[in-house]
């Protein structure tokens, strides 16, 4: 017959572990995490167990097992490599009606230790007929599915409340953080920008309210004030709201404004950082934003207004004098003016530039040029937003890597 599964709450309860080898070394930390008062009986212990004993977390009797050791225990683990000792321990435990786990014989064991995992408040335990390797494999699959949101965790008594500002990463849905995907799976409402990983939205449950904030440059979009009002309104209705953006919410994402609006309304806010496209897209194109001996600094600049626009707050002369890498966002349509300003203020016209469109997506493509030619090259190639512009000698590093790869191809 299969076992009757039960979650034991061991806090403050004595657990006896007989044996001090590798099996005990695996079992003891989990028992301590559950709050058990662990006693180890063994003539010797592993270094890992010795550390726990030295820290006062485990009581150790440096001797072989003796009859009477099971007294006062709520649970016994027989973990020695001597079958006769494990048999004796199990027999004493059985006589005293204490559950005993035998590590050496699943069929003779009164209880089995499952393969366990935990994701937030969810605990997973798998026995798989007493086969530990199979149980561990199934446990890993379930835990991974809970972490990435593949398994729906929305229906629970203690779901998150308020608003979560989730950075969705640079575009590839696999690059959202584990925490971000978890929260997305628990959302009642999702307010998404156009640069958020759209493929993840197809996985939302049918009853999730999806609000498209768009944020299309010079096109249809919700105002920031409207977005703030939506976040507050839905959260006040008791719904858990995820604000899903591309990249990171706090890197030109106006996440700070949304956080302030929620705070003023008394709405709790959880911030989940995302992988910003300013670093991720150059990396996906093979270009490091810093490289030893080439660049020890990089600057991330929003070019939503041109260098000569009165509303620009960017120190373009300072950037031109800098030897660091420049990573320009929202710059494609103003690239000619950016190049003109940088060259005028001191950057070499021959400075290498790479422009990467749709970074991390299957449609990713890149154009490489010099600062003096990049605007024409980008126009001729039909590069459109979203695109990242990388200015600096690190572009040559990426080109060198590609040359080395090409030389090694058969």
Q: Which residues have a catalytic role annotated?
A: 193, 215
Cα 392 to Cα 388: distance, rounded to the nearest angstrom: 13
Scored b (16 or more CB within 10 A) or e, 381-405 reads eebeebbbbbbbbbbbbbeeeeeee
For 128, which DSSP code? G
Q: Which of 84, 80, 87 is nearest to 63 (CA)?
A: 80
> Which token pair is 241?
């709201």
User: Residue 100 forms beta bridges with which residues?
Assistant: 76
The residue with tokens 């600062």 is 371
What burial class does residue 183 get, using C-beta atoms within 10 Å of its C-beta: 0-12 exposed, 13-18 middle, 19+ buried?
Answer: buried
What burial class does residue 54 get, using C-beta atoms within 10 Å of its C-beta: 0-12 exposed, 13-18 middle, 19+ buried?
Answer: exposed
Q: Assess contact for 85 and 103: CB atoms under 8 A.
A: no
> Which token pair is 184?
């997305």
Q: Which of 234, 238, 272, 82 is nearest to 159 (CA)?
A: 238
> Which token pair is 357?
């469109």
């Amino acid at each position: 017959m299969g076992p009757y599964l039960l979650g034991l709450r061991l806090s403050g309860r004595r657990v006896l572990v007989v044996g001090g080898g590798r099996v005990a070394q695996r079992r003891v930390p989990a028992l301590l995490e559950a709050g058990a008062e662990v006693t180890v009986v063994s003539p010797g212990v592993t270094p890992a167990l010795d550390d726990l004993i030295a820290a006062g977390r485990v009581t150790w009797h440096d001797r072989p097992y003796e009859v009477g050791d099971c007294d006062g225990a709520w649970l016994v683990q027989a973990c020695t490599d001597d079958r006769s000792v494990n048999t004796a321990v199990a027999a004493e435990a059985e006589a005293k009606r204490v559950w005993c786990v035998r590590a050496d014989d699943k069929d003779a064991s009164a209880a089995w230790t499952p393969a366990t995992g935990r994701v937030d408040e969810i605990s997973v335990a798998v026995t798989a007929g007493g086969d530990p390797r199979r149980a561990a494999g199934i446990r890993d699959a379930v835990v991974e599915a809970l972490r990435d949101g593949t398994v729906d965790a929305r229906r629970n008594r203690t779901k998150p409340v308020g608003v979560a500002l989730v950075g969705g990463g640079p575009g590839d849905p696999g690059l959202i953080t584990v925490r971000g995907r978890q929260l997305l799976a628990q959302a009642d409402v999702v307010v998404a920008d156009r640069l958020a990983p759209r493929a993840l939205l197809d996985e939302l449950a049918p009853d999730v309210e999806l609000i498209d904030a768009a944020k299309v440059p010079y096109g249809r979009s919700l105002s920031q004030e409207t977005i703030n009002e939506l976040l507050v309104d839905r959260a006040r209705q008791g719904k858990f709201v995820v604000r899903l953006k591309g990249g990171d919410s706090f890197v030109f994402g106006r996440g700070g404004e949304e956080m302030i609006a929620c705070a003023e309304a008394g709405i709790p806010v959880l911030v989940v950082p995302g992988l910003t496209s300013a670093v991720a897209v150059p990396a996906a194109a093979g270009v490091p934003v810093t490289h030893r001996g080439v660049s020890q600094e990089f600057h991330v600049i929003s070019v939503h207004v041109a260098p000569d626009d009165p509303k620009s707050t960017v120190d373009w002369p300072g950037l031109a004098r800098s030897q660091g890498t420049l990573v320009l966002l929202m710059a494609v349509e103003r690239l000619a003016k950016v190049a003109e300003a940088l060259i005028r203020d001191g950057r070499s016209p021959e400075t290498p530039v790479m422009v990467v469109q749709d970074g991390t997506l299957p449609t990713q493509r890149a154009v490489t040029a010099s600062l003096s030619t990049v605007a024409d090259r980008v126009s001729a190639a039909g590069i459109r937003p979203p695109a990242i512009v990388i200015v600096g000698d690190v572009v040559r590093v990426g080109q060198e890597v590609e040359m080395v790869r090409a030389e090694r191809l058969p």
